Amino acid sequence: MNTREIKQLAEKFTKEQLENCITQTIENGKNECEIDGEVLEVVNTLAKAQTVRELMDRGMSQMEAIRELARRIRQVQGR
């Protein structure tokens, strides 16, 4: 997980803008968030940033939101 990139995206874009970038990446291979790379990797990064942004919008600090994202990922992986 590239925490630095996720933080920057979560600060710069709204939840809705990140959702649009995910859709654009899936449909066109490019997006207005200006993130390049393999489609799956870009969508993964944007989805993580969207989750962090959503948690921040609910009142969490950025670090709390990153920790919560990491906790959720570990939980899904069964750790």
Phi, psi at residue 32, to the nearest 5°? -75, -10
Average pLDDT, the chain: 94
Q: Which pTM was predicted?
A: 0.91
Give residue 78's pLDDT: 86
| pLDDT (0 to 100) of residue 24 | 96
Query: How big is the chain, counted in residues?
Result: 79
d(CA 44, CA 50) in angstroms, rounded, equals 10
- pLDDT value at residue 1: 63
Q: Which residues of the chain carry a pLDDT beneath 70?
A: 1
Tokens of 69: 């994202």
